[in-house]
Structure 1
């Protein structure tokens, strides 16, 4: 009986210790997680290749990566290396960065599958019809210009021939983008940093539980004493 009473007396103390351990554990976990994420973003920033080639708007892939820890940065780096993708990196702030580059269309399906397997969101936009319309408009413009060159002065002819050449280069580049490449945009986000207010709310919650448990224990002790007195 004495042992049971002693154990009951220790229950509030044990509960308070557990609540303190929960708070310390959450704080330590969040601190380590944030350091791991920040280190991962720092490593991704080192992948920056200034003026990495782009593919234009005919085919576009947008990849959304939510980082839960440094291992996500490693997986993204490995993904880019497997597909031989160079990217330009822009660090927006401490917890967010973006990457741009290009992906071969022949690798599109594999890239999408591997991205989704890693738990990320990959979206493909096909705008080849719009690009085909641009090419058609440039062809018409060139045909009209060439049909009237003989009616123009030498100076005007030179200017319009440069327009024709520029259109041809643009058509060739657009056609290559349609047939071979997809523009790649990657957005890496890690959520927001835990603030002192977050930990204050946690401490209030745990303190509330502690008060309820302690108050309940006091009521139980008083109740048992009244029963014995009867």
Structure 2
């Protein structure tokens, strides 16, 4: 259901229900949440992918049938667990990357948007399908709206139209489009670039960006404090020295 492994300081988390297009149910939500909370200390980044033709086609049909029979209290509890899964991704202090192919529908878009950087295949298809079922993309909306505009969300939240990778790129949902044949090379290159950067600096940068995204921008004094704190670290001083030495040549 969920595969996880540490490989070269990358914590690989893979959705593994290819026969169901990696659609999630209650068990998969719990398993993904557990994988995200059990990252080894030595991991420098998290890479989320999906086995098979599709990254994630949203919620499993049988899971949705079960929800239809839930009481309001049961649905509230279920929604809390789903919301927590996306929050686990968003709040991770290390960089998070996802590569998505095939169908990325409903909650699958929540995973993609909660990650820092999303790359998609040129055959990817996206859809906020919720309104077709009489519901809304409620718990994924904060992550979608942090990356896109209200104008984009109004069209695709309300119409449930399927859109392609070019539209996703223009909206800000994804950072790059690649062919499936070049996907591994592109993702590997990005991951190596991320792991070559200063870890403390990355964590601080994520705090800074999250503050702005959550309408709680850091004050000038807080920004000064963050920069001064980082400049005094051994890692930053070593990196600056190396950079300056190279610039002399």
Question: Which has a greater percent of helix?
Answer: 1
Same fold, judged at TM 0.5 (above): no
* TM-score range for the pair, normalised by the shorter chain length: under 0.3
Kindly indicate whether structure 1 or structure 2 has the higher relative contact order, using CA contacts under 8 Å at least 6 residues apart.
1
Structure with the greater alpha carbon radius of gyration = 1
TM-score, reference length from structure 1: 0.23
